Structure 1
Amino acid sequence: MGVNQSRIAVLCNYELLPERVGGMDYFYWMFDAKCKEQGIEIDWFFPNLSNHGGYSKLNLHSSNYKNVENYFLDNYSNNQYSHVITHFIELCTPFYKKLKKRNSAKIIAIDHNPRPLSGYPLKKRLEKKTKGILYAKYIDLFVGVSEYSKDQLIKELGSFIKDRIKVVCNGLEIQKFKVKSDFSVSNKFLTASHLRKDKGIQDVIYAVAALKKESDVPFTIDVYGEGPYETDLKNLVNEFDLGNTIIFKGSISNLHEVYSEYSYLIHPSHGETFCYTVVEALLSNLPVITTNDQGNVLKLVKENNNGFLFDVGDSTKLKMILLSILNGKNTIVNGLEKEPEVLQFSLEKMVDNHIKLLQ
C-alpha cells in the first residue's frame, strides 16, 4: 500500500479537555490536516470524545474511559491499517504482540513519559528489561521526543532497539507567542505546569517561606495549572501564610499571551522528557529559572544569559536566586536574543517529521 493511499490508527491515552488545550492538541489537529492533504486518513482513539478546537474535524473513537489498547484490540485490530501509532501508552506490553499478530501494520510507539529523578527501583528496572526482551520486537519504530528520552529508552529496554529508534522533538506554534519587550523589573513570577509532586512547586513554596524571613521586598508568584497535588500545595501555602504572594490561577488557554507579562518563569521540575513550558517561555523572550538537568532537559537555558539554574529540590539555592533578583544584584533586564535552538521547535517541523515516519 502506498503512503498516499494509507489509513492509519493513532491511539492516545490522553483525555480530551476543553479547558486544557496544549501543544499536543495542536499537533494532533495539524497532523490530521497534513495527512489528509496527502491522502492519508486517520482513525483517532482516545478515552473520551470532544469537539473543541480542531477535534471537530477528526475521526474520533472513544473507549469511554476504559483501556484504549483493549478497546482497539476488541473492535478495530483486524482493520487494514498501514500504521498504528501510539502516544502516552505504555511501551513493550502484551498489547503490541497481540496487535502485531492480528495486523500487518507498522507499529510506531512515541515515548512521552517522564522518569523519576532517582531512577526506577530495581524491581521496575528488571521488569522493563524483561518487557523489552519479550515485546520490543513487535514495535517497528520507537520515537523519543528528545535525546534524553531516546537515551532512557535504550537504557531501560536494551541496546538492541538502537537501530529502531529516532528522535522527533515536540513543536509549538511559534508565531502565536506574544514576545516580551518590557524588561523593567516588576517582581512578577509565574509557574505553569500540571500540579503533580514531580513538578516541584513545593520547592518554590519552601524557598519563598525562607525568603520572607530575609526580605520584605514585595513580589508575587502566579501558579497556573491544575492537578492531583493542588490541594497539598494550597495547604502548604496556607501553612506558611503565603496567600498574598503565591496565587493559584487555575488552567487557562492563552498562556502564550500571558508569559510576556511576567519577569521570570520558575520551573522547578524534578523530571521532564521535553518540557513545553520552558520552550514556551523562551519563545516569549521570558527568562527562565529552572532545574539543571530536569527542567533544562533540552539545554536551552544558559546561566546568566537567558535564565538561572539550580539543582532539583535545592530550595535554598532557589531562595538565593530569587533574593538576588529582588535585590537587583543578579537579574536579566536587557532583553534576550532567541537562541537558534529555540526556534527549531516549530509545530510545522514536528508535523513534517512525524509524516516522514510513515514514509
Structure 2
Amino acid sequence: MRVLNLIWKFSTGGIGKCFLTYATLSSADNNICVTSACIDPQNCNYDRNNLKQINARIISIKNKKDFSWIRKTKALIDEIKPDIIFCHGFNGPIIVQIIKWFYNIKIPMICSYHGLYHAPTPQKRFIAPIFNRTQIWLYKHYANRIILVENFSKKYLLKNGISIEKLFVCHNGIPDITTTINNITLPQEEISIGLASRLDSVKGIEYLLQAIPLVKAKTKNPFKVYILGDGPLEKKLIQISQKLNINDSIVFLGYQNNIPEWLATWDIFVLPSLFEYHSIALLEAMRAGKAIIATTVGGNEESVTNHVEALTIPSKDSIALSEALIKLIENPQLRKKIGENARKRFLIEFTENTMKKNLIKALTL
C-alpha cells in the first residue's frame, strides 16, 4: 500500500511529532510504502531539520497566498500514485479536498484529528469556530476515516454527527530513547520543576505562575521552575512573573531542541493545560520517569491515573496546583514512586512501536 503522508507547514508540536512517526510506518510493515511531504511556505520561520531527516518531499511556496501548491502536490500524486492520502491538522483535509475537487481525484482521504483549533491570540478568536465547523463538515462528507489520538475526541465527533464507522482511536506513541549525553547541570540543592510547551493561553502557564507564591509561602525547600518554549504569550507571562515578584524562582529559557536532556535533569514535570488531547509532552515526561502533575482535561486521564502515574488536578486551579507541587517537593519517595509508575505505563502502552501497529490497523481496515 502506497501512502502519501501530507502536512501543511511543519510544526514542532504534537501534530508535527506525529507526522514524523507516520513517516516511518514502513519500519513496522514492509507492505506499506510512505512518502512524506510538507507544503512549506518559505516566509515561515521554523526548524526544518526534522523534515530533512525523514527525507520529506518539500513542496515549496512563497507564502500562504501562493497557490502553486495545488499544481505541485498534484504532480507529486501523479508521481507516487498513492492508494491513500493521509493528512493532518486543521489545514490537512482542506488542502487535500481542494486538490481532489480541482483535478477530480478519487483517492481516499484519511485524516488525523488532534482536537479543536484554539486561537493562539485574541485577534484570531473569530476564526476558531470557522475552522472547527469546516473541519467537521469535511470529516462528515469527504473523509474516509479519521484517526483520533484519544477517546475524548471520539465522543465529541460522534456528538457532531460523524459516523462511528469512520472513527479509529490510536493513542500517540514516541520512541523509547534515553539520553546518554547531557550537558545541562542544575543546582543540586534545588528541586527542579519543568515545563516544555508552546507559550499560549491554552497551556495554562499563568496558573502555574500564580501557584508559585503560594508554594514559596508554605515550603522551605528551595526550588526553581524552568519554562521551555516560545509563543504569543511569552511577554505577558514574563510580565506576570515580574508582577508576582517570583523572578528568583522562574527561568524562561525560550525554544529548546533538547527536551529529553532537560527532562533528565528535572525532579517534577508540570502540565497545567486548559485543553489537551493526547499530549506528547506528557508522554515524554512519562518516558523520562518523572514525577508529573497534570490537569484533568481531554486525554490526559487516558495517559495517567491520579496518585499512580501522576498527581492530577482541575485546570485553572492555582491552589490545587500549589498543593500538588508542595506534596511532591516535600516527598522524594512519592516523586520516585510516581516517576517509576509513569515509566512502566509508558513502556506498556505508549511506545512508538505500539502506536505504529495500531495505526497500520486503522489505515488498512
Q: TM-score, normalised by structure 1?
A: 0.79
1:18-29 aligned at under 5 Å gives the runs 23-24=17-18, 26-29=20-23
Q: CA deviation at 1:72?
A: 4.2
Measure the CA separation in 2 of the matches of 1:329 and 1:39.
Answer: 46
Task: Provide the aligned length of Structure 1 versus Structure 2.
Answer: 340
Structure 1 residues 54 and 134, CA, compared in 2 at 3 Å: closer, same or farther? closer
1:211-250 aligned at under 5 Å gives the runs 211-250=215-254
Partner of 2:207: 203
Partner of 2:300: 297
Partner of 2:49: 52
Amino acid at match of 1:14: K
Gaps of 5+ in 2: 119-124, 181-187
- Residue-by-residue CA offset, 1:185-232 (whole Å, 9 max, x unaligned): 952111111111110110011011233344453210101111111111
- Residue-by-residue CA offset, 1:30-51 (whole Å, 9 max, x unaligned): 24x6499547352513324776
- Residue-by-residue CA offset, 1:105-159 (whole Å, 9 max, x unaligned): 110111123466xxxx9x9779956874576221111111111122222223x14
Partner of 1:192: 196
Partner of 1:351: 356
Gaps of 5+ in 1: 179-183
Match of 2:33 among 31, 36, 40: 40
Structure 1 residues 309 and 340, CA, compared in 2 at 3 Å: closer, same or farther? closer
Amino acid at match of 1:348: N
Partner of 1:281: 285
Amino acid at match of 2:193: F
Structure 1 residues 257 and 326, CA, compared in 2 at 3 Å: closer, same or farther? closer
Amino acid at match of 1:351: K
Q: CA deviation at 1:67?
A: 6.4
Identity across the alignment (%): 18
- Residue-by-residue CA offset, 1:261-317 (whole Å, 9 max, x unaligned): 2211011011111101111111111110111234x6243333333321211100011
Q: What is the root-mean-square deviation of aligned Cα atoms in Å?
A: 3.8
Partner of 1:322: 325
Contact 2:194 2:226 in 1 (8 A): yes
Measure the CA separation in 1 of the matches of 2:115 and 2:108.
Answer: 22
Measure the CA separation in 2 of the matches of 1:96 and 1:88.
Answer: 14
1:1-359 aligned at under 5 Å gives the runs 3=1, 6=2, 8-15=3-10, 23-24=17-18, 26-31=20-25, 34=27, 38=31, 40=33, 42=35, 44-48=37-41, 52-53=49-50, 55-56=52-53, 57-66=55-64, 71-77=68-74, 79=78, 80-90=81-91, 96=97, 99=100, 102-114=104-116, 132=136, 136-156=140-160, 158-159=161-162, 161-176=163-178, 186-294=190-298, 297-328=300-331, 331-334=334-337, 336-337=340-341, 338-340=343-345, 343-359=348-364
- Residue-by-residue CA offset, 1:5-48 (whole Å, 9 max, x unaligned): x3x4332123357x9997336415524x6499547352513324
Greater helix fraction, Structure 1 or Structure 2: 2
Q: CA deviation at 1:92?
A: 6.5
Q: CA deviation at 1:54?
A: 5.6
Measure the CA separation in 2 of the matches of 1:293 and 1:278.
Answer: 12
Amino acid at match of 1:62: S
Amino acid at match of 2:200: R
For the residue of structure 1 that corresponds to 2:90, the secondary structure is coil
Q: CA deviation at 1:87?
A: 0.9
Measure the CA separation in 2 of the matches of 1:130 and 1:193.
Answer: 27
Measure the CA separation in 1 of the matches of 2:193 and 2:29.
Answer: 42
Partner of 1:181: none
For the residue of structure 2 that corresponds to 1:312, the secondary structure is coil
Structure 1 residues 242 and 132, CA, compared in 2 at 3 Å: closer, same or farther? closer
Contact 1:11 1:86 in 2 (8 A): yes
Measure the CA separation in 1 of the matches of 2:215 and 2:222.
Answer: 11
Amino acid at match of 2:321: L
